[in-house]
Structure 1
Amino acid sequence: MFLKLGDNVPKGSFGWPILGETLGFLKPHPSNTIGAFLQDHCSSITKSKPEFFNDIERIAVQILNSWKDKQQVMFCEEARKARSRISSRVKAIIEERRSRNGRSCGVRNDFLEILLSVDTLSEDEKVSFVLDSLLGGYETTSLLMAMVVHLLGQSPTASEQLKVINEALRYGNIVKFVHRKALKDVKFRDHLIPSGWKVLPVFTAVHLDSSVHADALQFHPWRWEAQDQTCKKFTPFGGGSRCCPGSELAKIEIAFFLHHLLQNFRWTAEDVDQPMAYPYVEFGKGLLINLDRCSI
């Protein structure tokens, strides 16, 4: 493989002669450390877990501080405050790609390059397409946040105890189904699913099944005190080898936001605004809430 100036390859050296940096990698070090070699070669842009937590908390506090003089907020818009920043970043990447178009030595076959080659889409449509592709990691978290606020507004007791995230996932069904493909013939009960057929496992059918979850059509956060959260009856993040890798991150983000939200505000909904599936879940009126600042 030939590298050219500007290639964003990992930090390090090929070394000379044959051994390169192998001896440095193998240098003895205390087993409860990662060693000087890895410490030196770890990317400076990689953030540690506590530092990332600080970022999450800082953003949550920043959003809530902007509400201090407001009596109402359109919560769905507030939960998506980052969308404009992401949009600006995507536009900048598109412009950078176009500016070097024709000067690249190789042929790029990534998603964005293919999208840029589509002449029937406008600039804004291409940016929107990229943002929509981020649904799994961004839109679902902001929607879960809105769902939790919506349900907590109807349950003051749950608000005080904050036992709500899993129940919002079960009851709200932010991801209604997933797409799967049968890699071989699958027999399910009395049915045969031939190899190559597309299958849509519908999570809602399980989450709202009263034979699986008692009083399934009722919002009841305390069910999780006795119910196994890792069982196959609860699959808001998928399951098995295809389980969402961002599941714990989403819960952490919501937990940080709820902690500061409940310390500073109580709220009620302006109008009855039920989450509807189109098929993605959305609040038709944007979830307008009345704010009441509290002191604890």
Structure 2
Amino acid sequence: MVMIIDDAPANIRLLNACLVEEYAVRFATSGPTGLEIVRSQNPDIVLLDVMMPTMDGYAVCAALKADPETRDIPIIFVTAQGDGGDEEKGLSAGAVDYVTKPFIPAIVKARVRIHIELKRLRDQLRRQSVTDELTGLANRRAFDEALTREWSRGVRSGLPLSLVMIDIDFFKGFNDAHGHLGGDACLRQVAQALQAAVPRRIGDLIARYGGEEFAVLLVDTDGEGARKVAERLRSNVSALAIPHGRSSVADVVTVSLGAAALVPNSGKPPTSLVAVADALLYRAKGAGRNRVMVPSPDDARKER
């Protein structure tokens, strides 16, 4: 989708005419309205007029680049100004290109096409960099980024953030018995079972944390909500009924889980939630495995 932000309807009509055959086109005639649409629609590129009343193009560009959700959207300035200093100002503000009016439609189309293709390539590389190749889940890098982002959001909202840490019981023995290919197949099946148990909400994330360990981040979720999700996770894995002859707790593959919830605050790092959930996971393993461990009343009092 192409987003046009220009206060002159005639310019919008001209740009729309040369782009509409190849792209869906949205437009706004003011900076504030344009920002709202960009944040809600996430276009592939923004064509942005520089000279607009109330909020000029430079201010719109700065706002988009300051927002993590929109900062990677390429911006092309479309303006009547042809001064080299203005072009330098626009490119320094974060624009990827600069077209002066009256513009040549073929040039606009070519530049839009190039920058959209470059963005899609960057998006593909980005997806690959945050995806675990074996399971298709988010990887550790994606988890760390999500935890930091959701912790900051929780500081602002005052709502709880939950984390479930998961470990496959006696996975080394399973790997020894079935070889690495069998171990990989087990990890993929467990990943699918875990994913099926996680709510499909914006902000929630399931990741392969490392080796046979997984993590589930649950936004706006208290301890009881995290416990319920953790029990579904445990049940889903057991229901796979993957034979495990080297487990001392069951004849099928099982998992141990630690579920924790904290209300984020600026006085603690995001990793404090990981520390609590990880300690509960090891408590679950020490208590016999194949179970969910949540904070005890004493733990809750200490957190206060």
Structure 2 length-normalised TM? 0.21
Structure having the higher strand fraction is 2
The structure carrying a bigger helix percent of its residues is 2
TM-score normalised by structure 1 residue count: 0.21
Q: Identify which of structures 1 and 2 has the higher relative contact order when contacts are C-alpha pairs closer than 8 Å and 6+ apart.
A: 1
